[in-house]
Structure formats: C-alpha cells, structure tokens
Structure 1
Amino acid sequence: MLVLPAELTHSQANTCLGMLREAVRAARAEQVLVDASALTRFDSSALAVLLECRRDALHDGKPFAVRGLPARLKELAQVYGVRELLNELPEPASPVAA
C-alpha cells in the first residue's frame, strides 16, 4: 500500500508523484492501493497526483484504488467530476475484541 503524506499541495506535488511512480513501478502487488488517510493539508494538486498515479497503475495493467480520502478531498473530486475515477475503498473493519 502506498501512503500519501500529511501535506500535499502544489509545492510537494512533483516530489510526491515521483515517489509514487517509483513505488507503482516497483510494486509486485496485483493492485495499486493508495492510503490517503494521513492527508490534512492539501489542495487540488492532491487530486492531480492521485489521477496520475492511477494512470500509471492502469498503464501497468494494475487496478487502482484509494482508501481514506478526507471529506474535503472527496468534495473537490466531485466538483471536478473525477470522484468515480478514484475507486474509493471502504476502510477495513476494526477487529472486534472478544
């Protein structure tokens, strides 16, 4: 699983995308899964990074999904008409203590 940083704005976008691209190419998993739950400070560049990562994954024949999208980023994706491209997965259920 690939993990986004807490901050992903225009100034970090190219660096973050470069690291994600390397990770996608090196990944042996059949699916590229990005965890966005750490994001606390972001702008529309975060969407651009996720969409480029998706494009790279699909180019390599790997399905792409995102987990933990912050509500505000979901809203941005909806406004830009790309929310369905992010293939958001639900958070895994917490184990129940016996």
Structure 2
Amino acid sequence: MAKKYPKEFKEYVSKLIVIDGKKMVDICNELKLPYDTVQKWVSSYKKRKQDAEKAKQNQLLTASEYKELYEAELLKRLEIEEENAILKKAMHIFTQEK
C-alpha cells in the first residue's frame, strides 16, 4: 500500500528542488522517498506555478485593452457631465418661473 504524504510536505519537498536547487536524488535519499513519487510532486508543483503565472498574465491589460477601457470611461464621464448640465439648466428654468 502506498504511503500518503501531507500536501504541505509535498509542497516543501518540491520547493527544495525547484526553488532551492537541491538535487532530486539527494532529497530522495535523505528523506527516504521513492524517486518517481518525488518526480510527480515536482511536476505537479511546476504545473501549478505555470498555471498561476498564466492566470496572472491574463489579468494584465494590453495597451489596446487599456485604451479601450480608458475611452469607455471617458465617454461615460462626458455623458454624465452633459446630463448634469441639462439638469442644471432645467433647475434654473424651474426656479425662475416663480
């Protein structure tokens, strides 16, 4: 029966290899872990990091997206200012009729 390891332990071992640059063989020998198991943990860890990086990149706006967003906001602002000007004129007219 395969031994179950906590998620935190798998993450720790993967970080030792990926971030700290430890050799997988050394870690396996030191912690008495099967090489193929650690290899799966490291692959999974790298994939999660890659997916997180892609998600982060997708949140960033390109210059054209930013420009579109800026122009849309500017248009809304101009419409609101125009509505306010109309309302001010209407208020002025209604207050003058007394």
**TM-score normalised by L of structure 2:** 0.28
Higher helix share: 2
Higher RCO (Cα < 8 Å, 6 or more apart): 1
Decide which structure has the larger Cα Rg and report it. Answer: 2
**TM-score normalised by L of structure 1:** 0.28
Higher strand share: 1
